[in-house]
Amino acid sequence: MSFGLVTVPINVQSATEDHSIHFRQYHVADGGRVRYRKVCELEDREVPQEEIGKGYELSKTQVIPITDEDLSNLPLPTAKAIEIDAFVPLESIDPIRIAEGYYLQPAGQVAAKPYKLRVQALSRSSKVAVAKYAWSGRERLGLLRVRDEALVLHAMRWEDEIRDPAELLPPPVDVSEEEIEGALALMDTMTVDELVGEEFQDRYTEAMAQIIEAKREEKPLPEPPEPEQPAQVLDLMAALNASVQQAKHSRGEPAGEAQVHELPKAKKKAAAKKQTARKKTTGRRPRSA
């Protein structure tokens, strides 16, 4: 990892763990494992891993072989190094561009001091570093930050990899200030200091483990909970108020009295106009022929 003239030898370690339950394909008739075999199309035989190479398909009949040595000697500065290009405030980066993370481990005692220098400088600056590096067949953009005295490298998506959401937006609608205030009240009720607790646990994996355990012990499968049917929202403010009360109840807080809201002024005026028009129509005399 290079920063100006300072170079820090590092090892890249995964910063996350996969706790998902993985499945295998098997033959339903006899339970045999179904595997994928690598077969050469020309010889029609299975090929061992040591005979398999990688290459670029120039045409249907021509493949340009690329070896591991070719990849390690790319004419690219970031082929073997993470080069820091700039420092920016974290809030200036759209979270949609931030992908998976990796820990950067100092490689040996020689890296200890420059590694710690980088950690302390980043921590005091309240900024993150933007870097470039080559990984998985392409040059990537990366974000460097500090987590518990360790450097974390996040892969980043290039700007042209982010879709423009304009084509996905709903048709124009009007939202009243009262409705916005109701939504903010619900957000305040659901605000937490940190992401801890049962509601932030992987319930899907737990449910799948129950299914597997029941099948292993040849017991009845656990009953699924009754899904809540989403109600059609006819009164947005009433739905927001009810959501606030429900959120308070789930946290054990006193719900208090339900908020009573009036119709927006525009609706009240429209209703008044209709009532006035109805009175005029009732009191009007029929014209003589």
Tell me: the pLDDT tens digits for 21-75? 888 888 899 989 988 889 998 899 999 999 999 898 988 888 999 888 887 777 7
Which amino acid is residue 67, in one-letter code? T
pLDDT of residue 203 exceeding 70:
yes
Distance CA 52, CA 172 (A): 56
Whole-structure pTM over 0.85, yes or no? Answer: no
State which H helix or E strand residue 279 sits in.
helix 265-283
Determine contact, residues 177/184, Cβ cutoff 8 Å. no
**What does the mean pLDDT of the chain come to?**
80
Residue 44, both tokens: 């029609």
List of E strands, 123-185: 127-135, 138-147, 150-156
Residue 270, both tokens: 């429209």
The secondary structure of 185-210 as a DSSP string is: HHHHHT--SSS-SGGGS-HHHHHHHH
The rounded percent of the chain whose pLDDT value lies above 70 is: 81
Location of each CATH 2.40.290.10 domain in the chain? 2-17+73-159
Distance CA 118, CA 39 (A): 49
- 251 vs 208: which has the higher pLDDT: 208
- Is residue 90 classed as helix, strand or coil in its secondary structure? helix
Q: What is 2-17+73-159's CATH topology?
A: Ku70; Chain: A; Domain 2 (2.40.290)
Strands 54-57 and 63-66: antiparallel
Phi first, then psi, for residue 40 (nearest 5°) are -75, 125
User: Given the structure tokens 């820090």, which residue do they identify?
Assistant: 8
pLDDT band with cut points at 50, 70 and 90 for residue 4:
low
